[in-house]
Amino acid sequence: MSAVRFSTFLLAAAATLFIASCGRQSSAPAGPANDASIGVLLVAHGSKSSTWVGMVKTLADQVREPIMKQPGVKEMRLAFIEETKPDVAAELRAFDAAGIGEVIVVPLLIAGESTMSNNYLQYLTGMRTQAKAIKQLQNEGFDVYYPKARVAMTPALSDSEVLKKNVLRRVNELKGQDSGEDMAIVLVGYGDQVYGQQMSDIMEGIGRYLKIKTDIDTVAFAFCGKLTDYSGAPVVEVINEVLDLEQQVLVVPVLVGVDEMLQVNTIQAAVNAVPTSSKVRYKPDAVLPDPVVNEWVVTKVQEAVQRVRDAGGATVPAPNRG
């Protein structure tokens, strides 16, 4: 993987709220939206790391009170796509049992266009219902449940400035008071075999932002996780390449939480494997915790609640969902 230099043109990502019905075609239309009972479902990827899970649960605890203050919101729940319980189906069943009519799903994911979002979350929440895809999920051991409630989904982190500002803050913490003239940044994200271009676009967008906001001109990225079989070799390669250009390298994980398999066993091991590792600055941190991310979650819920209350009307018939 070669180092990537980015231009200084900053692209603004557009956030889109997707709304779809999750009831049967014969179900009665929902009542007036401003009278609907609303449930909020935070959904994260999931991890075997108790540290990672704890960070996500802490965010959920911290945003619970302001979310529950939103008009019409009766319940807030947290679910995980894989590796961790409770799963999405269990929490959607709980919403049905509580008589919730509208569910707002908040994906605690880096990328909106990703395997986790498009191939898993949208089907697990009933927003997409393609039979072949559902069968595949069931074959993989996923419990798929279509709630009676109508479901709306808010954007992922990459669709906002929050992620860029989060990475900038952590870059500045590593950089300290030193000049960035002879420094480079290496961003490390979670790879995606199917949506590789989308993940690269996210990293490039962050890179352009960092070049504008700092005095560092060289920014590169590498991926870790399943895509690389949890090998740190791609990270080592990129660090070595940018060290041919600059005197020091700042390595920053673009990951939701701290999973020892990634931040320690992969990225830290990669840093240690660099012959001139004394020139590399690295902290095994993550996007969380960050009060700004918490505020972003609450804001996305507020916007979605307002849309739900303003929408009204009948739901979209299930056969029209693809």
The per-residue pLDDT for range 90-116, each reduced to its tens digit, is 999 999 999 999 999 999 999 999 999
Grade residue 34 by pLDDT with cuts at 50, 70 and 90. low
Give mean pLDDT, residues 232-251: 98
How far apart CA 253 and CA 200 sit, in angstroms, is: 14
Output the pLDDT for position 312.
63
Structure tokens that stand for 265 in this block: 């066993």
User: How would you list the strands of the sheet with 73-80, edge to edge?
Assistant: 18-20, 150-153, 102-108, 38-44, 73-80
Whether 320 shows a pLDDT value over 50: the answer reads no
Average pLDDT for residues 243-265, to the nearest whole number? Answer: 98
State the pLDDT confidence band at 309, using cuts at 50, 70 and 90. confident
Percent with pLDDT over 90 in the chain: 84
Summarised one tens digit per residue, pLDDT across range 204-218 is 999 999 999 999 999
**What integer is the mean pLDDT of 51-66?**
98
pLDDT on residue 206: 98
Domain ranges of the chain: 18-158+290-320, 161-282
CATH topology of domain 161-282: Rossmann fold (3.40.50)
Q: Residues 163, 110: contact at Cβ < 8 Å?
A: yes
Per-residue pLDDT band at 36 (split at 50, 70, 90): confident
pTM of the model: 0.85
Same fold, 18-158+290-320 and 161-282: yes
| pLDDT band at 35; cut points 50, 70, 90 | low
Residue 206 CB burial class (10 angstroms; 0-12, 13-18, ≥19)? buried
Class of domain 18-158+290-320: alpha beta
Residue 76 in this model has a pLDDT that exceeds 60: yes
Q: What's the pLDDT at 20?
A: 39
Specify the long-range contacts of residues 276-283, CB closer than 8 Å, at least 24 apart.
276/243, 279/243, 279/247, 279/248, 279/249, 280/239, 280/243, 280/248, 280/249, 280/251, 281/174, 281/175, 281/248, 281/249, 281/250, 281/251, 282/174, 282/250, 282/251, 283/170, 283/173, 283/174
Beta bridge partners of 106: 42
**Ranges of H-type helices in the chain:** 50-68, 88-97, 122-124, 131-139, 162-175, 196-213, 233-243, 269-273, 291-311
Q: Could you give the dihedral angle defined by the CA atoms of residues 65, 71, 73 and 74, in that order, rounded to the nearest 10 degrees?
A: 90
- Averaged over 65-74, what is the pLDDT? 97
Predicted confidence band of residue 15 (pLDDT cuts 50, 70, 90): very low
Q: Is the pLDDT of residue 322 over 60?
A: no
At 231, the pLDDT band (50, 70, 90 cuts) reads very high
Mean pLDDT of all residues in 154-173:
97
Label residue 311 by pLDDT band (50, 70, 90): confident
Per-residue pLDDT at 314:
37
Total Cβ atoms within 10 A of residue 260: 16
- Percentage of the chain with pLDDT > 70? 86
- Computed over every residue of the chain, the mean pLDDT equals 88
| pLDDT of 223 over the 70 cut | yes
